Chains A and B, each alone.
Chain A
């Protein structure tokens, strides 16, 4: 790479990561007004432990994300299996309809959900947020698992059945273990989509039942404290960790079979 190229790449990375780096640094800075020189402290993380509102919201966020990961992965995998293995009327249309939700702005999705949930009597709260997050995560799961299924030859199951497995046994003995990396990656994806979700959660949260991003937002409106930096740093670490794990697993799952 040329020198100019390196400098450009450095600038792009700086542009991407400088604000995040500042936020993480300030989470460890004693001064509430971000004054330098930096005095390292864990004070803001300790303060976090006493912030019941933020902690309750964190617990909600993790609970919703876990529920979303399990539900969306199960439903999405079933959909991906049907779309890739079964021939049925309207399959291409269904496959096509799975993708636009990814492109539709969350603001619109969130408004639509709020209106729909109000109209059907589902209302707002924990169950509504789980429903909304599952709906948001399913297309991602179908994409990830569908890709995994495509790299899995259909004749492996046939081979197992010809050797005496019932189709159900063949699915659990052959397809599921081979699909495991894709399933884990899809679950992590769903977890991340839910954990990072703000707009839909904001619309569906109730005063006693909100998620971490929603709580952070309302805290900021009231007045910024470095506690926000601290919790954001924790959230960032969790997100990056998940992303790294899912990237490793996706690559493991996508490794082509040598012939």
Chain B
């Protein structure tokens, strides 16, 4: 599943492992946690080599996709489990449990059973149980995927707050790029058992290295064509970028995010930078924003996001001029 992964997770930071299913992100998480041994290579936490340390001695906190709360125990007993395994008893346990439940805003839920809680509440208990032991690493395996969209967004903010307050080094597995971008200090993109790219969210969104990374992080318009003087010939125009180009005569792919493109009103002066003409195929109205689907010369499909400052839209079939800056144009490896 994994293929020569070499990754560092910064202390006290939240790093997301982002990838499609089967990319090896969960396997990597399970190797870090010690749930499965690596076939080759070492796992270090701080300066300590933990490759051969058993899972139960590794002092990690894990939040499972299914929460994995113990159904025969109360909320307090669930949270106390790790503390009791570490030999704590009585008042010390009660104080720590109360603090952890306060952190996840579930004070007063001590005596409830997991079955009596909503999905979001179970999620919080799982989180409290994982952080209460002050683990060296907190591992989260798609913890929000079972929640509905609204609750998920609330829990993202909660999770961020809890991670900051606890200061735990956190590794978060997700296949949801918005979640990864919103939550993380660092994002690592995985595909086919390899880490393709790693960096701060804005960095990897604005400067993806490959077509796969660019597509996985959001919508992108691609222009593939021969390299000529200063740009790539595609969609009936010469598209430029500020990034150094490969030699003339080769083929290259340039890309631009849909929100970076301006729709130039008919009759307005053509702005400098990249601009092409395209036929509007469809407008997808979504309240605050609309998505324009267009077709550029050569049948290249394009997507443009536009804030709905006015309520009027051009009709499908209209020819529109699209403009964007060469600085926003990304050179991608295939």
Contacts and interface: CB of A to CB of B under 8 A. Distances in A.
Q: Are A and B associated in one complex?
A: yes
Interface of A: 153, 155-156, 158-167, 169, 174, 177-178, 257-259
19 contacts: A158-B64, A159-B68, A159-B70, A159-B129, A160-B81, A161-B55, A162-B33, A162-B60, A162-B61, A162-B62, A163-B81, A163-B85, A163-B129, A164-B59, A164-B82, A164-B133, A178-B72, A257-B114, A259-B66
Contacts of A160: 70, 81
A72 B210 CA distance: 60
Q: Which 4 A-B pairs have the closest CB atoms?
A: A164-B85, A163-B82, A159-B68, A162-B62
Contacts of B129: 159, 163
Contacts of B115: 257-258
B157 interface: no
Contacts of B114: 257
A257 B56 contact: no
Nearest to A257: B71
B294 to A, nearest CB: 42
Contacts of A258: 115
A161 B72 contact: no
A74 B56 CA distance: 27
Interface of B: 33, 35, 54-57, 59-62, 64, 66, 68-72, 81-82, 85-86, 114-115, 119, 122, 129, 133, 146
Given A153-B66, A163-B129, A259-B119, A158 B86 contact: no
Contact of B56 (A153, A155, A166, A174): A166
Given A162-B61, A165-B56, A174 B70 contact: yes
A164 B87 CA distance: 10
Nearest to B35: A158
Contacts of B64: 155, 158-159
A163 B119 contact: no
B56 A156 contact: no
A187 B70 CA distance: 24
B133 A163 contact: yes
A191 to B, nearest CB: 25
A16 to B, nearest CB: 37
Nearest to B133: A163
A169 B82 CA distance: 13
Contacts of A156: 68, 70-71
